[in-house]
Amino acid sequence: MRLKHIKLAGFKSFVDPTTVAFEQQMTAIVGPNGCGKSNIIDAVRWVLGESSAKNLRGEAMTDVIFNGAASRKPIGQASVELVFDNAQGKIQGQMADRSQVSVRRLVNREGTNSYFLNGSKCRRKDISEIFLGTGLGPRSYAIIEQGTISRLIESKPQELRIFIEEAAGISKYKERRKETENR
């Protein structure tokens, strides 16, 4: 599974629609301080369902919407779309047979969130479900940040188990079992 490109519009410093394409050989995003490198990672985590403003380096969830700059007024909504190559069929559930999967999240100033899978409206849960066991989720090990390694080393056995279960592909079965038990 490969992230092919990200489309941002109104997200943090990316006020104008911007596409960041990740070619096969792409290894790094570089640029001066404050140019928006970390905002791109925040965008990935946000689409995958991050619900903590603090984890997105803001105070409120609507802080991800472009807030204005010296020459630009704030705008009304933020949208980010991630497009994945699923040729290897790693993506689960309802999108398992698609060769390309697009995941999009939109938020407006009222704080209303909308989620889309290949252009059709869906629930946040539908997005987390298709990535279970792939290692990709708002807080999974696909995104390693400053401090993540030391947090892993210092984590309690119960927390460490969550990472190991995701890596081993067990978490999706546990999630399904929990759902069945709650019915």
Interface positions with Mg ion (CB under 5 A): 38
Partner whose binding site includes residue 36, from Mg ion, ligand ATP, none (CB under 5 to 8 Å by kind): ligand ATP
- Beta carbon of residue 141, minimum distance to ligand ATP (angstroms, whole number): 21
CA pair distance 126, 117, nearest whole angstrom? 8
Rounded Cα gap, residues 52 and 138, in angstroms: 10
Pick the closer one to ligand ATP by CB: 38 or 92: 38
Question: What's the angle, vertex CA 170, arms to CA 166 and CA 176, rounded to 5?
Answer: 110
d(CA 75, CA 10): 7
- In the chain, the DSSP E strands lie at 2-9, 18-21, 77-85, 100-108, 113-117, 120-122
φ and ψ of 12, to 5 deg: 45, -125
89 is an annotated ligand-binding site residue: no
Residue 12 interacts with ligand ATP (CB under 6 A): yes or no: yes
CB of 33 to Mg ion, least distance (A): 8
CB atoms within 10 A of CB 49: 19
Nearest-CB residue for Mg ion: 38
Among 25, 33, 150, 158, binds ligand ATP (CB under 6 A): 33
Cβ proximity to ligand ATP: between 67 and 108 the closer is 67
In whole angstroms, the minimum distance from the beta carbon of 35 to ligand ATP comes to 4
Residues 56-115 that bind ligand ATP (CB under 6 A): 63, 65-67
Instruction: Specify whether the CB–CB gap between 142 and 103 falls below 8 A.
Output: no
Q: Pick from 1, 18, 20, 38: which binds ligand ATP (CB under 6 A)?
A: 38
Give the residue ranges of the annotated binding site for ATP: 32-39
